[in-house]
Amino acid sequence: MKDWGRMDTPSPSIRDLALRLLAASQTASAPHGHEAVLVSEKLRISLTRFAGADGFASLLRRALVLASADLPSLQSVEIGADGCLEGFERLDANTGTGAGGREAAVAVTARLLELLVTFIGESLTLRLVHEAWPDTPLGRGDE
């Protein structure tokens, strides 16, 4: 995970972590919800507690802007007043396969994790993630 924290593109390790979280969210709790929304919601609960609702919303907004630069389809996704992602369902509907929505989910989640790593470091980020997903292996000794 040497290249964690770079702002150009999320590193493979961050993408891998994002994929794990998305997979865990898909299988574990609500099979009907979009995994990106579920991941974001779990992180929102965990992060809002210590960073405040505004703190989380500003991070998520920045993550969405960065991800939109890679995937223009994300420009239709918005952040609601409560800090939730809105509009992911439309991405799936547009492609008809769900693949576009999945790629967008990875991009947003990876960017959000990348921002956290940039600000508070890899170790604390993994600890926060672990709080939200205590049963999900996160790699690196499952922090």
Partner 1 sequence: MSTKGKGQGKVQGKDQVTIRQLPTGVPGLDEILCGGLPEYSFNIIAGAPGSGKTTLAHQIMFANASPKTPALYFTVLGEPAIKMLRYQQQFTFFGQAKMDGAIRFVNLSQLVLEDDLGAVLDAIVKEVEACKAHIVVVDSFRTVVRKALNNANELELQGFVQRLALHLTSLQATTFLIGEYVEGELRDNPVFTVADGLFWLYQSVERNSIVRKLQVMKMRGQASVPGLHTFRITDAGLHTFPRTFGLTDNKSDHVKGRRRLSTGVRELDALMDGGIPEGDSLLVAGPSGAGKTVLGIQFIAEGVVRGEPGIVAMFEELPDEFMQRAASFGFDLDKNIKDGSLKLIYLRPLDLSVDETVHEIVNAVKEIGCKRLVIDSLVGFEMALAPDFRTDFRESLYRMIGALTRLGVTIMSTVEVEENFTSMGLSNFTISFLADDILRLRYASINGQLRKVMMVVKMRRSKHSIDMCAYEVSSKGLVIGEPLRGYRALTSGIPGPWSLEAGQSLPELQTDRPPGPRKESPRRKKPRKKNSESRAR
Query: Alpha-carbon distance 49 to 65, whole Å?
Result: 23
Q: Is 139 in the site for partner 1 (CB under 8 A)?
A: no
Q: Is 140 in the site for partner 1 (CB under 8 A)?
A: no
Query: Alpha-carbon distance 40 to 60, whole Å?
Result: 8
Give, as ranges, the residues between 26 and 85 that touch partner 1 (CB under 8 A).
48-55, 59
Give me the residues paired with residue 85 across strands.
79
Radius of gyration of the chain (CA): 14
Query: Alpha-carbon distance 42 to 94, whole Å?
Result: 26
Nearer to partner 1, 32 or 135 (CB): 135
Q: Looking at 121, 137, 139, 140, which residue binds partner 1 (CB under 8 A)?
A: 121
The beta strands (E) that lie in the chain are given as 78-79, 85-86
Nearer to partner 1, 55 or 98 (CB): 55
Q: Is 119 in the site for partner 1 (CB under 8 A)?
A: yes
Q: Footprint of partner 1 on this chain (CB under 8 A)?
A: 48-55, 59, 119-121, 123-124, 127, 130
